[in-house]
Amino acid sequence: MKLAFILDPLDSLKAYKDSSVAMMREADRRGHEVHALMREALTWRDGKVGGAATRLALYPDHAQWAAELTREHQPLTGFDAVLMRQDPPFDFEYVTATWLLERAEAEGARVFNRPRAIRDHNEKVAITEFPQFIATTLVARDAVDLDAFIDEMGDVILKPLDGMGGSSIFRVARSDPNRNVIVETLTHHGARTIMAQRYIPEIRQGDKRILLIAGEPVPYCLARIPKAGESRGNLSAGGTGVAQPLSARDREIAEALGPVLAARGLLLVGLDVIGDYLTEINVTSPTCFVEIKEQSGCDVAGLFVDALERECP
């Protein structure tokens, strides 16, 4: 197959832990052509979406993990699959990319995850479709509603709807002297909607990343355990990743959501679960492939490329 990966700049990728690099290495190992394409290079003209794509040679060395072979402008229909793997923020430019990729689909390109599905699933708000699996949650922008929720719950997590990597996440108690300024800051004085969730004490055992590939759960998750004094388990916030088998509850959540999300064209999904509760549904560029394989031996990249080969025979 000839594959195009839409990525962040290559020199910004940390090959020793990057899931996209793991995918590309596995595809290359199987003899597939691997090309990298930057989101800002996407164009539409005369009915065709394309971009300047760089063919890569992949190496196991982490310092020099890829070499650029050729670079040329190509239509996306010239690839067997296009994989959208750019990290958030999910801003207007990200939305624009989904519009262009949707036009490419209309021309016959195979895009994973499907651009409409990415656009329709805010990674925070998407959990509201599955209320049976979530802790008590409020989505609001008015300080009156948020303050009432904090008073009722006593201990909550507040977070923006467009954040990633644990950015701008606050734990706020009923008696917190800074609660008003935190609410004002996150909502931009009532101009932006945020999410409030009842604090889940089981975060001490980790914020679990459960991966779904073609609707099926990977048998191991990565529990991201907060460092001392932190309420965020994100690896970028200093958390420690520990691979572990899925619990019965993890599997219950994954098996309920998997077929629904796969039917919408979401080939790869990352569910975030704390304790027994679903907290996020990640659809942009789910990660943790490398950590799970290194600690459990489960070859997540291999499972992903298997699924991609089934989708694009």
Is 227 a known active-site residue?
no
Is 280 a known active-site residue?
yes
Q: Looking at the predicted structure, is the pLDDT value of residue 237 above 70?
A: no
| SS3 (DSSP) at 226 | coil
Domain residue spans of the chain: 2-119, 136-199, 202-311
Helix (H) / strand (E) containing 255: helix 248-263
pLDDT recorded at residue 122: 95
**Strand arrangement, sheet containing 194-198:** 137-140, 194-198, 155-160, 170-173
Sign of the four-CA dihedral 291, 294, 299, 301: positive
pLDDT digits 0-9 by tens, 157-214: 999 998 777 778 999 999 999 999 999 999 999 999 999 999 999 999 999 999 999 9
pLDDT recorded at residue 263: 98
Is 224 a known active-site residue?
yes
Fold of 202-311: D-amino Acid Aminotransferase; Chain A, domain 1 (3.30.470)
Determine the average pLDDT of the residues in 65-77. 96
Q: Supply 52's token pair.
A: 């300047």
Selected catalytic residue, list 232, 234, 250, 291: 232
| SS3 (DSSP) at 201 | helix
Is 14 a known active-site residue?
no
| Whole-structure pTM value | 0.94
Selected catalytic residue, list 25, 124, 208, 293: 124
Is 208 a known active-site residue?
no
CATH class of 136-199: alpha beta
Selected catalytic residue, list 250, 280, 291, 293: 280
pLDDT digits 0-9 by tens, 242-267: 999 999 999 999 999 999 999 999 99
pLDDT recorded at residue 290: 97
Q: What is the mean pLDDT of the chain?
A: 95
Which pLDDT band holds residue 236 (cuts at 50, 70, 90)?
Answer: low
Is 113 a known active-site residue?
no
The answer as to CATH 3.40.50.20 being correct for domain 2-119 is: yes
Q: What is the 3-state secondary structure (H, E, C) of 93-141?
A: HHHHHHHHHHHHHHHCCCEECCHHHHHHCCCCHHHHHCHHHCCCEEEEC
